Structure 1
Amino acid sequence: MTQVNGTPVQVEEEADEPGWEVDPDDDWGVAVVETVGRQLKLRREAVGMRAAEFGLAVGYGEDLVYKIESGKRIPRPEYLDKADKVLGAGGLLSAMKEDVKKVRYPKNVREIAKLEAQAVELGVYVGLSLHGLLQTPEHARALFEARQPPYSEEEVERLVTARMTRKAVFDKSPVPALSFVQEEAALRRRIGGTMVRRRQLEHLLEVARLRNVTFQVMPTESGAHPGVDGKIELLKFADGTAVGRSDGAFNGRPTTEPKELRILELRYSTIRAEALTPGESLAFIEHLLGET
């Protein structure tokens, strides 16, 4: 415990968790963090505070202050709030929390979320696990905690938050048309224990009953179909453009080529035709829920 003007202050040194480091390949993220760090440094110097003195005032170590100001570390939201108050920034530093929050999400997650937010139609076939837009926080956390090598606790929370943020697509106006085809095996997998699985099935029922959502189950007993090679995603936008991706086509890369998109659309249409109807799928989930 350190004294600042006679007041005890708990000084925290953030551990070098990967979730707080800047991805050097994320150009936008690097630019945001460097800009935030530069503003913090300019504000601190403008009021005549040394880094060590400022660190004590906000309750963090001097080394962390230098790392944040040099753009090497992503500041926590509470760090920006404390800095705003100490430096008398009138809310300008606190306002940076929104951009910083986005930087904390992995670059690929931000890109996926951006496309999903812009889409007017989304069609997805998923095999081994539930699609991220369908997951509860507890289900997502259990999946991330099972990864090897293991994520740190902060990294798990960061990834769960990022995944849940993507679900803002359900609150868009006008609402997009969402279609999901999910393999039965993923619905039967007992992830996170009985209560987590039960809540996940209840959530699936809630989503599947939305007017803009079509949810179908692909029975395990079905024969070979175009989705056995892996996940298929199709997104269509208001300007008539589209993007698609499949694990089993075009080396897994996203495509906007009309010919390739038609192939993916044909595969997805075939999958939907072979899956249970939406009504049968709802009944199937209710049956699974009754078994838990």
Structure 2
Amino acid sequence: MARAENKETAGPATRLVADMVRMLRKRKGWTQEQLGKAIGYTAAAISALETYAQPPSDAMLVALEKVLGDGMGFFEQARLYVRLDKYPEQFKDYAPLEQKAVGLSLYATLVVHGLFQTEEYARALIGGGYPPLPDERVEELVEARMLRKELFERKPVALIEVILEESVLTRAVGSKEVMREQWAYLAERAKRRNVTLQVLPLEAGLSGEYAGGHGEMTLVETAQHDHLVYLEAQEESLLIKEPAKVSTYAQRYARIRAQALDPRESLGLIERLAGDQR
């Protein structure tokens, strides 16, 4: 269902797509109902798109490209920019860097990192947050988060390291079934050749050292081989570019990695969790 407030807050890409759809539809002499039938949507959905009340889904943009694109590739190219419109404000500067990165090193302390979440886990997490979001906005955010996973299939492939606190694995989100699916998904991703998954065990600090106390982080190697750090907490974000600071975070990440279980042990732990819940 479209939201009236979207008409005021719609991003520039969403507005451009809406205006282009309206122009191309009228050029063909089609009503909103006719266009809707051509792409498998209702006239109300086309109206919501054209009035900025509802941003187009990724699937709608694919359908529009086939029917209205005329070989230009406009709607295909628009998919990335409309996706950016849907992201929370604090995430918009980082999102393009993630999609083009050649390497990511992730450390998650509270919940499973967004790139490794199942759809149901993400829906439970986003839908259960505070302040509560309308169902339509929850679905927008879930779709945008799932589309980030295109990174796993991209050519050339990105190398991704992820370290999860053990508490992330045992914190229940959604339901037991949601968690079973999430553990199975993590195990599947951990077996990919471009992914290294490690778990930082709860007793890591018993040795007298615990490098993860400063919180989660994301280290990014860009396509130009620049190195950046992205931090996010309480709906605020920080993108760090200064080489000296980036170096400190990279060294801290290396210590966290050294204190974590190795990839084989980590996979075994995740598989045991999944097995115990069958």
TM-score tier, shorter chain, comes to 0.7 to 0.9
Give the TM-score normalised by structure 2. 0.78
* 1:187 counterpart letter in structure 2: L
1:212-231 alignment, distance < 5 Å: 212-223=194-205, 225-231=210-216
Give the one of 73, 78, 89 matched to 1:99: 78
How far, CA to CA, are the matches of 1:207 and 1:41 in structure 2?
41
Give the one of 183, 190, 199 matched to 1:208: 190
Percent of aligned pairs with the same amino acid: 32
CA gap of 1:151–1:263, structure 2 versus 1, over 3 A, is same
Asked whether 1:290 is paired with 2:275, we answer yes
Contact 2:220 2:230 in 1 (8 A): no
- Which piece of structure 1 moves more, 70-79 or 176-185? 70-79
Deviation at 1:242, TM superposition (A): 1.3
Contact 1:246 1:264 in 2 (8 A): no
Contact 1:21 1:74 in 2 (8 A): no
How far, CA to CA, are the matches of 1:16 and 1:278 in structure 2?
45
Asked whether 1:272 is paired with 2:234, we answer no
Contact 2:127 2:138 in 1 (8 A): yes
Deviation at 1:272, TM superposition (A): 0.6
Give the 4+ runs in structure 1 shifted more than 6 A: 79-82
CA gap of 1:229–1:23, structure 2 versus 1, over 3 A, is farther
Contact 2:105 2:160 in 1 (8 A): yes
Asked whether 1:142 is paired with 2:124, we answer yes
1:18-167 alignment, distance < 5 Å: 20-21=6-7, 23=9, 29-30=11-12, 32-43=13-24, 54=31, 60=43, 65=47, 69=50, 74-75=55-56, 91=70, 96=75, 99=78, 102-104=81-83, 105-106=86-87, 108-109=90-91, 111-167=93-149
Deviation at 1:36, TM superposition (A): 3.2
- Which residue matches 1:16? 3
Q: Give the SS at the match of 2:213.
A: coil
Superposed CA deviations along residues 31-83 of structure 1, whole A, max 9, x for unmatched, are: x333334334545665788xxxx45665646xx84x7556565356669969x
Deviation at 1:90, TM superposition (A): 7.2
Deviation at 1:227, TM superposition (A): 2.1
Q: Give the SS at the match of 1:254.
A: strand
Deviation at 1:128, TM superposition (A): 0.6
How far, CA to CA, are the matches of 1:91 and 1:81 in structure 2?
12
Q: Which has the larger radius of gyration?
A: 1
How far, CA to CA, are the matches of 2:225 and 2:80 in structure 1?
31
Unaligned runs of 5+ in 2: 37-41
How far, CA to CA, are the matches of 1:263 and 1:22 in structure 2?
42
- Which residue matches 2:226? 241
How far, CA to CA, are the matches of 2:61 and 2:251 in structure 1?
51
Unaligned runs of 5+ in 1: 1-13
CA gap of 1:190–1:17, structure 2 versus 1, over 3 A, is farther
CA gap of 1:22–1:186, structure 2 versus 1, over 3 A, is farther
CA gap of 1:69–1:134, structure 2 versus 1, over 3 A, is closer
Name whichever structure is richer in helix by fraction.
Answer: 2
* 1:225 counterpart letter in structure 2: Y
Q: CA RMSD in A?
A: 3.5
How far, CA to CA, are the matches of 2:69 and 2:247 in structure 1?
54
Q: Give the SS at the match of 2:132.
A: coil
